[in-house]
Amino acid sequence: LASTDPETQYSSDQRKAERKKHSEDVKNTIFQEVEHWNNLQSEYKNYVQWLQLNGQNALRMPVFAPVPQDSREEVLSGIKDLLENLQQKGYFYNEVRWQHIGCRRNGEGLQLALLDLESLRKSSEESAPTVKDQIESLEKRMRSEAVGSNTGLFLT
């Protein structure tokens, strides 16, 4: 049974205030993501935007598939270039994971993009990993996935 004690119940005004704050937090996160896409991957500038759908904040962005496991080794140099570009612009991923990297085929081959830009950090932080460390982390994950696929385990 729900408590009927007025001290422990949220008022309608409190719930409205919490929903409004949450909505503003989501909107700010989306605006930050849009800004990162526009500043760091400007080739997608016309495809990334904040919008409202059914009164809810949403992010429209290009669709990218995950990098297929059998293509991961061949795209490491392209990922290194993306991370170096990111670093030159003053940012880094706190922890690069394969799910942060998307790909799609175009007329020129495989096109890569960094995803989840909301999780970027400024490079001025002392704990910023090097691009070399980030690539080694992806390689380690790739090796553990290969071992996992032979044993029936799948790690990302």
Give the model's pLDDT for residue 58: 92
Give the model's pLDDT for residue 102: 93
Largest CA distance in the chain: 65
Q: Give 10-residue mean pLDDT values along the chain (156 residues).
A: 59 88 90 87 86 91 90 92 90 85 86 85 78 90 71 44
What token pair was written down for 135? 């690539």
Q: Is the pTM of this model over 0.75?
A: no
What token pair was written down for 89? 């612009």
Number of H helices, E strands in the chain: 3, 7
Q: Is 83 left (phi over 0), alpha (psi -120 to 50) or beta?
A: alpha
CB neighbours of 41 closer than 8 A, spacing ≥ 6?
A: 113, 114, 117
Give the model's pLDDT for residue 154: 43
- Residue 130 carries which side chain, given as an amino acid letter? T
